[in-house]
Amino acid sequence: MAELSDVFFVDGMRTPFGRAGEKGMYWNTRADDLVVKAIIGLLERNDAVPKDRIDDVAIAATSQTGDQGLTLGRTAAILAGLPMSVPGLAIDRMCAGAMTSVTTMGASIGFGQYDLALAGGVEHMGRHPIGANADPNPRFVAERLVDPGALNMGVTAERIHDRFPHLTKERADRFGMLSQHKAQTAYEAGKFQPDLVSVAVKDAEGAWGLATEDEGRRPETTMEGLASLKTPFRPHGRVTAGTSSPLTDGATVSLLAGGDAVKELGLTPKMRMVSFAFAGVEPEIMGIGPIPATEKALRKAGLTIDDIGLFELNEAFAIQVISLLDHFGIADDDPRVNPWGGAIALGHPLAASGVRLMIQLAAHFAERPDVRYGLTAMCVGLGQGGTVIWENPHFTGKKRKGGQS
């Protein structure tokens, strides 16, 4: 009989994230090829893992159509050269797709049914804009189950500002600016590069190049510049392009393992899964979803918010992150939060982003043996939130000199 197991995040890699649309670096690159590149890069870096031992491949996409359709986990596994004996599946929880891939595969490992799994996500928002081929049931609006504005994520962000007037545009602008500055500082220090898989890309003229870094960064961002931006979701609104994640293309993949597989194969895990939770909220203010999800995950882990030493929060919109920080009494510029910036600077390829958060948290853990627990969380379209709590295997219990533990 299978026994319960610890669940370990062994490693994760991602493609550089590209701007969506005709001017973006992936305009002529297929979505499934982005996933394949990430899988190949991850398995090459973890060559102690026999490919035929992988029990399942879960790949998420929000728009499961065209080159993001056809049971992505299975097709990407075949294209990446995994044996035909390795199965796969596709997952959709909009922005939390990759996060759900990880928790679903993690639960299968924890229950003792799987030893090893790949989990990730992809979104080619240039080829597949969010909701492009969707046909929402007319009952949603006719029976007032959901306000029509709930399907526009920018409108839902404006509504958080409405609900919490003390979360001002200036605070959101400052958060967006700092995200850009922190991401650039981390790039210059070589923090992101080890976990990026280069992708061969072809431009409009047919010339080949290499995508090696995230394309959408704007390190020159200033408060003055942000103050002058248009508010596209509402006249005289508060949400701008500078406080929103840009439309993005990219893929992420992680390798998960159970305790026995870690020992048998001599793997060195980067994190241990402690708990996870998803929660629903009104779709009209979907951005507050991570608050109840985080409360739920903390309860399941027997922890409080004060036990969390590092936060990787998806910056779908600045206001969404600030609302969570405000709820838990954490300063907007707390150094524990998104130390290398986030989606406002790097991009948010919807279903891929959850594993990007995990890759970054794992890298922080390696540098921070004084921190025991970290948290990855994100809001989800249609009124949800997701949170995963992780433990640092490098934790020593010693406080950091001159800093917070």
Residues 6+ apart with CB under 8 A from 97: 60, 61, 62, 91, 121, 123, 350, 351, 352, 354
Which one of 128, 161, 348, 364 is the catalytic residue?
Answer: 348
At a CB cut-off of 8 Å and minimum separation 6, what does 91 contact? 58, 59, 60, 73, 97, 100, 101, 104, 121, 351
* Cα–Cα dist 189/213, whole Å: 13
The residue type at 315 = E
**Residues near 25 by beta carbon (within 8 Å), at least 6 away in sequence:** 16, 18, 19, 201, 209, 211, 215
Secondary structure class of 312 (helix, strand, coil): strand
Helix (H/G/I), strand (E/B), else coil: 258: strand
- Using DSSP's 3-state secondary structure scheme, residue 293 falls into helix
Q: Is 348 a catalytic residue?
A: yes
**Residue entry with tokens 């701007």:** 19
95 is an active site residue: yes
Amino acid (1-letter code) at residue 235: P
d(Cα 342, Cα 366) in Å, to the nearest integer?
19
Q: Which two tokens stand for residue 41?
A: 């890069």
Q: Are 177 and 222 a contacting pair, CB within 8 Å?
A: yes
Question: Exposure of 149 by Cβ count < 10 A (0-12 exposed, 13-18 middle, 19+ buried)?
Answer: middle
How many residues does the structure list for the chain?
A: 405
The end-to-end CA distance of the chain, in Å, is 41
99: which residues sit within 8 A by CB, 6+ positions away?
93, 353, 354, 355, 357, 376, 378, 386, 388
Q: Which of 95, 124, 128, 161 is catalytic?
A: 95
Tokens representing 375 are: 């948290």
The active-site residue, picked from 124, 161, 364, 379, is 379
Show which residues are catalytic: 95, 348, 379
